[in-house]
Structure 1
Amino acid sequence: MSLPLHFTGARVLRPGGWDDAPIGMAEGRITDDLPGRAVDLSGWWILPGIVDAHGDGFERHLAPRRGALRDLGDALAMAEAELAVNGITTATLAQFFSWEGGMRSPDFARAMILAHAAYPATLDLRLQLRLETHLLEGFDAAADLVETYDIPYVVFNDHLPHAAFLAGKRPPRLTGQALKSGRSPETHLALLQRLHANGPLVPKALSQLIARLAPRATRLGSHDDQTSQGRRDWRALGVPISEFPETAEAAAEAFSAGDGIVLGAPNVVRGNSHAGKVSARDLIARGHCTALASDYHYPAPRQAALALAQGLGMEAAWALVSSGPARLLGLSDRGSLAPGLRADLIALNPATGRIGATFAAGCPAWIGPDIAPRLLR
């Protein structure tokens, strides 16, 4: 439930910058009034809750071991707890709809979406469907899920080993992928070859699918753009978000046209891409970033913003994990601590960089041992 409280003594990051004035929350909204009782947060920072535009870290909770999956509701609860501990108040759960099988299969996607619909979340847990571009036979089923469950964000992936097929070679890591999918290596290879052969049919099928999805105002993105022409092609199809561009060229093209650009926070924390692609820090220095996303590691947005603050300043760095992604997702009711917006806020210890409390729409989602006594006092 939403708590009427106001916090005193903290340093608060508001739209106009830092100040030390009290901040209140009532009926799930930020207010300049001083509702409820005062909670002294001297020595803490109060920041907007993190808005995560793309993350698949929940997979480790939904399937901790192959074949160990039992209760998706409990798994979502564990994922939500991890999100809250890391200050993420709006999470985009990036669920695959793919030929890869296992927990990335169309059947698993449907089961996960059903579990999500039944789960009583405290945080705002939003869905993203990651659709493989060459899985043409799955397009109608994917669109049905988007329409039935109001999935607000669809991203197009292409993870097929096209280069290997074009070179007449056996794809790398084939046996491991086959085992994860529950197929024999031979069956898996035949599937990949058949999907690869769909290439000439993909543009028209994508155009028809996007035309079906567009009237729903669904956010549409492409994944791992490599070239400026590739980004232009996606834009021409009506896909204005570039997730994790792999080259400076692709990111520059997206920026020049005003496309949304999502970069991986783990890339920032590492200082480079784990896959040898373009450095997110370099792109951010050029202004080619709308939002930093957790990608595969939920602590990363907080860690990345704190690291970038040393050069950009805290206001600009934190905007990459709050107001920037909120704008990209079309969520005008959050992303900053302005009166009337959702009371999505976190208390952060500036000495450690750790989260002490997370509130989502004024509801306590995580209260750590340093903050709990102040609330109970």
Structure 2
Amino acid sequence: MPERSKDIVFKNARLVLPDTVIHGALLVRDGLIADITAGSTEVDGVDCDGDWLIPGLVELHTDHLEVHYAPRPGVRWNPLAAVQAHDAQITASGITTVFDALRVGMDEDARITAADMRLLADAIEEGQSRGRLRADHFIHLRCEVSGGDIMSGVRLFETDPRFRLASLMDHTPGQRQFVSLAAYKLYYQGKTGMSDEEFNIYASKRQAQAAQWSDMNRKAIAALCKERGIVLASHDDATLEHVSEAIGFNTLVAEFPTTLEAARASHDAGMKVLMGAPNVVRGGSHSGNVSARDLAAEGVLDILSSDYIPFSLLQAAFQLTESIEGLSVNQAINMVTKSPAEAVGLTDRGAIEVGRRGDVVRVHLEGDVPLVRSVWREGQRVS
């Protein structure tokens, strides 16, 4: 990133603070927020013309990078070019801090390998160290615990300082995200073109692998995360038993719970409940699970993630304020800024507060789809 500017003033803006919204001005000095002033000012600066000024978005779970690296079956793009393309789209969506979700624990039909994921992690490090990336990038390992090769994949990352978050995933048919085998069959046959016979063989094999590996791998990865201070997330919890297991692993983030029961129990236990922003934008889960809007209405939704559509993060935050009675703009924006940042220990960003990083996004709102006018990271314009 280019050298930080010394002083930048944003004026005539609707400033979204953690607890309220004010019309005023913001001073960023040496990359940090130095002053917040209500009302008008005659000082020269960026005239926001009444637009929203919100903190830079913090994304904890996006697997969008894979789309740029493996855009077609058998095609592998240059890793650094893929990372830069991903970074450009992320930043243009208002995201200034991103946890790129790289998966380990592959099944036999996976188009990519753990070695591919390591190549992408190396490209992230190269892009960051050479100032080629606009957003601040970290690594989130998506750990498919039913995979027999998962621990060899994890070992490729265990000493990487950008590895800050791990999720324990299990997409075995018949449980968690895919309790309904019929829904899983519809999803997977549509994705792969398998015949009924081929699908039945595949599903049985996946279930056998899970019986052999899942419990062992969950415990091993949870122990590694505890030892290294890596934030642990559960994934697709559906039952109270799932939540109880997550509590026992000192889990801090509950990703995509599939039922209201699991979401409420996770929230009550002190975990931050994370749901997909596409779920909000679409009005429901593509797998037929609990709606993120319903969790917001029940007061048990803490964090949104763009998952597979980067722009959905900003879009969903503003949509929630329209669809959930009593949910303020600042509360919704906290779900994509302050709450995710603090869930992973990044207390230096995620809010328009004096002393935090000058990561801000100017947003124009007209109609259903917000427009990102400009993005600043540590006082430097990046989009």
TM norm structure 1: 0.86
Matched, 1:245 2:245: no
Matched, 1:22 2:25: yes
Is the 8 Å Cα contact of residues 59 and 99 (structure 2) preserved in structure 1? yes
Matched, 1:161 2:173: yes
Structure 1 stretch displaced more, 87-96 or 20-29:
20-29
Which amino acid in 1 is paired with 2:341? Answer: A
Aligned partner of 1:372 in structure 2 is: none
Aligned partner of 2:40 in structure 1 is: none
Aligned partner of 1:40 in structure 2 is: 47
Aligned partner of 1:299 in structure 2 is: 311
Which amino acid in 2 is paired with 1:299? Answer: F
Structure 1 stretch displaced more, 90-99 or 103-112:
103-112
Per-residue displacement from partner, 1:62-89 (whole Å, max 9, x unpaired)? 2221223231111111111111111111
Distance 2:274 2:319 in 1: 18
SS of equivalent residue, structure 1 residue 325? helix
- Distance 1:158-1:12 versus aligned 2 partners, 3 A rule: same
Q: CA deviation at 1:230?
A: 1.1
Unpaired runs of 5+ residues, structure 1, are: 367-377
Structure 1 stretch displaced more, 53-62 or 296-305:
53-62
Distance 1:213 1:24 in 2: 38
Alignment partner of 1:217 out of 229, 235, 238:
229
Per-residue displacement from partner, 1:247-277 (whole Å, max 9, x unpaired)? 1111111012111211111111111111111
Structure 1 stretch displaced more, 274-283 or 60-69:
60-69
Which amino acid in 1 is paired with 2:290? Answer: V
Alignment partner of 2:374 out of 344, 352, 357:
357
The 5-angstrom pairing of residues 270-289 of structure 1 reads: 270-289=282-301
Distance 1:72 1:278 in 2: 36
Q: CA deviation at 1:198?
A: 5.3
Q: CA deviation at 1:59?
A: 2.1
- Distance 1:96-1:247 versus aligned 2 partners, 3 A rule: same
Alignment partner of 2:14 out of 11, 14, 31:
11
Q: CA deviation at 1:344?
A: 0.7
Distance 1:283 1:43 in 2: 31
Aligned partner of 1:132 in structure 2 is: 144
Which amino acid in 1 is paired with 2:308? Answer: Y
SS of equivalent residue, structure 1 residue 131? strand
Aligned partner of 2:355 in structure 1 is: 340
Aligned partner of 1:146 in structure 2 is: 158
The 5-angstrom pairing of residues 41-60 of structure 1 reads: 41-60=48-67
Per-residue displacement from partner, 1:126-152 (whole Å, max 9, x unpaired)? 111111112243314413412234410
Aligned partner of 1:227 in structure 2 is: 239
Is the 8 Å Cα contact of residues 231 and 254 (structure 1) preserved in structure 2? yes
Matched, 1:320 2:335: yes
SS of equivalent residue, structure 2 residue 137? strand
Q: CA deviation at 1:93?
A: 1.1
Alignment partner of 1:109 out of 85, 102, 117:
117
Matched, 1:70 2:58: no
- Distance 1:158-1:343 versus aligned 2 partners, 3 A rule: same
Matched, 1:309 2:325: no
Aligned pairs, number: 358
Which amino acid in 2 is paired with 1:12? Answer: L
Distance 1:123 1:197 in 2: 38
Aligned partner of 2:94 in structure 1 is: 87
Q: CA deviation at 1:160?
A: 2.7
Per-residue displacement from partner, 1:173-230 (whole Å, max 9, x unpaired)? 77887799xxxx98x9689727724525532443233222212210111211111111
Aligned partner of 1:118 in structure 2 is: 126
Aligned partner of 1:375 in structure 2 is: none
Is the 8 Å Cα contact of residues 91 and 134 (structure 2) preserved in structure 1? no
Is the 8 Å Cα contact of residues 162 and 196 (structure 1) preserved in structure 2? no
Per-residue displacement from partner, 1:12-53 (whole Å, max 9, x unpaired)? 11234222222111221111189x951222232111111112
Q: CA deviation at 1:162?
A: 5.4
Unpaired runs of 5+ residues, structure 2, are: 38-42
SS of equivalent residue, structure 1 residue 338? coil
Matched, 1:266 2:266: no
Q: CA deviation at 1:356?
A: 0.2
Is the 8 Å Cα contact of residues 134 and 196 (structure 1) preserved in structure 2? no
Is the 8 Å Cα contact of residues 131 and 157 (structure 1) preserved in structure 2? yes
Aligned partner of 1:370 in structure 2 is: none
Aligned partner of 1:99 in structure 2 is: 106
SS of equivalent residue, structure 2 residue 308? coil
Distance 2:15 2:187 in 1: 49
Structure 1 stretch displaced more, 198-207 or 48-57:
198-207
Distance 2:103 2:341 in 1: 22
Distance 2:188 2:328 in 1: 45
Distance 2:360 2:61 in 1: 19
SS of equivalent residue, structure 2 residue 158? helix
Alignment partner of 1:199 out of 211, 228, 236:
211
Structure 1 stretch displaced more, 234-243 or 271-280:
234-243
TM norm structure 2: 0.84
